[in-house]
Amino acid sequence: MITGFDYGTSNCAMGVVRSEGNVELLPIEQGKAFMPSTLYALDRDLICEQVGLKIGDANIKQEYIALRSGPLARAQRVRREEGFDSQEQSLFVGQAAFDQYLAWPSEGYFVKSPKSFLGASGLRPEFIAFFEDIVTAMMQGIKQRSEALLGEPINHTVIGRPVNFQGLHAEKSNKQAIDILTIAAKRAGFKSVEFLFEPIAAGLNFEERLTTDKTVLVVDVGGGTTDCAMVRMGPNHKHKELRQDDFIGHSGERIGGNDLDIQLAGKNLMPLFGMQSTLKNGLHVPTKAYWDAVSTNDVGAQTTFNHQQTGFHLDQLLRDCSEPELIKRFINLRNEKQNHHVVRSAEQAKIALSKTELTHVDISYIENNLGCDVSQDQFAKAIERPLEKMLNLMEEAIAQAGGLPDLIYVTGGSAQSPVLRKAIEQKLGSIEVVDGDHFGSVAAGLSVWAKRIFS
């Protein structure tokens, strides 16, 4: 079986092209097509153990066991010391991972949007190996679910990739990320793996609807990146075997929906934890620890936030501040590892604001009756900086193409926001803006491309 695999920052999806030519997204998550990109393990060393157990190819498994002898030995020690039964489920992906984290935030190991970390600069080999395991574990779970739905093995897939995984050292970053994804896919059991730029995949799906040729600016606002592509599309283009000449401009950067969530969490929710309060000497409370807390897509920020030195800093801040009850609340958030939950609440507020002008953000899981109202105007102000970067990427792709598009096709979950839509219209004038399937267009396009190259 041939599939298109959208291993996304916020959600994952798997698509197939049926014999009659229709694209179908498989219901891999409790009857739904989109699985949250999350993983939870009772202990981080147990991730490695579960990956090894599920590798099907004997040669790949033996190679993996040799590479992971240390973590595998630690996993056995964890099972003995913690009393985890060998039959007890120790690893969860998708909504089940969220459920486990929300029930036991201070226990186990939780990661959301691991794709955001791929290609990060300065990763030591052991961290790269760890991310390989996280991605492999997720891919194994998705592939297993998909094969159960299809009733046959999946051997070939096309995986979507952003134009750039990270902003710094893009070429080196992209190679590192693609290497991790390729290794993970092979360990998950895929025999053949190809990659396609996500904005191009989204455009291929849209092209099926065109009855005349157009130059289209495809804007894919994903969870971790925003990618833009200027593409010649239409009836005289879509059946070409080679499309390189039709892709006339592209740009991308690590700025996406997650960054909007982080900005909203920082500017509108962190004040509830003392971010805008003052010290006894009248100066403002330092904000770095607050931004580290909500920067859940930044390995360095999360490491710093969880480091002992931050604990010492917050203890001193508690003594020096003018509103100690707010700092105590922040310390409690850190101790209970609820920063991911706060950012998720910001994400839910962002989603709500795509349909309403005002929403209430309930964070009573921190403290009874704690929360605040957020308006579309407040959201727009909070995301000014990342939004400007997104608009600049659109202009960059247009400049590469040397001319304006006939229309703009927007896709990706955060593209539903009327704030983003208004900003695009203000920046690029009267060009028609068309909404795509904000979640399924990339997976559908990847499926079309997989069918074309593997059949």
* The three-state (H, E, C) secondary structure of 295-349, written as one string: CCCCHHHHHHHCCHHHHHHHHHHHHHECCHHHHHHHHHHHHCCCHHHHHHHHHHH
Q: Which amino acid is at 155?
A: N
Radius of gyration of the chain (CA): 23
Q: Tell me how many helices (H) and strands (E) the chain has.
A: 17, 16
Contacts of 301 (CB under 8 A, 6+ apart): 291, 292, 295
- Amino acid residing at 334: R
Q: How far is the C-alpha of 27 from the C-alpha of 438, rounded, in Å? A: 17
Provide CATH 3.30.420.40 ranges for the chain: 2-190, 212-256+385-435
Contact indicator for 333, 342 with CB cutoff of 8 Å: yes
CATH topology of domain 212-256+385-435: Nucleotidyltransferase; domain 5 (3.30.420)
Q: What is the pLDDT of residue 168?
A: 62
3-state secondary structure of 197: strand
Instruction: Sort strands 156-161 and 192-197 into parallel, antiparallel or unpaired.
Output: parallel
Question: CATH code for 2-190?
Answer: 3.30.420.40
Rounded to whole angstroms, how far apart are CA atoms 27 and 276? 44
> Do the Cβ atoms of 289 and 314 come closer than 8 Å?
yes
- What pLDDT does residue 388 have? 96
- Comparing CA positions, the residue from 454, 453, 416, 365 lying closest to residue 106 is 365
- Report the candidate in 161, 163, 196 with the shortest Cα–Cα distance to residue 180: 161
Q: Give CA–CA dist 62/67, Å, rounded.
A: 9
Q: What does pTM read for this prediction? A: 0.86
The closest of 412, 24, 449, 19 to 194, measured between CA atoms, is 449
- Please name the helix (run of DSSP H) or strand (run of DSSP E) that holds residue 320, with its range, or none: helix 308-320
Two structure tokens written together for 18: 């049926």
Phi-psi domain of 283 (left: phi exceeds 0; alpha: psi -120 through 50; beta: other)? beta
pLDDT at residue 203, rounded to an integer? 86
Which pLDDT value is given to residue 153? Answer: 96
Q: Structure tokens of 259?
A: 């960054």
Q: What share of the chain is helix, strand, coil (3-state, %, to 5)?
A: 50, 20, 30
Kindly report the backbone phi and psi dihedral angles of residue 226, in degrees, each rounded to the nearest multiple of 5, phi listed first: -115, 125
Q: Are 203 and 235 in contact (CB under 8 A)?
A: no
What are the mean pLDDT values of the chain's consecutive 10-residue runs (455 residues total)?
94 89 91 95 94 96 96 93 86 96 90 90 89 97 97 96 80 93 98 92 86 95 91 90 85 92 98 96 96 93 95 97 97 96 96 96 96 97 96 96 95 88 89 84 92 88
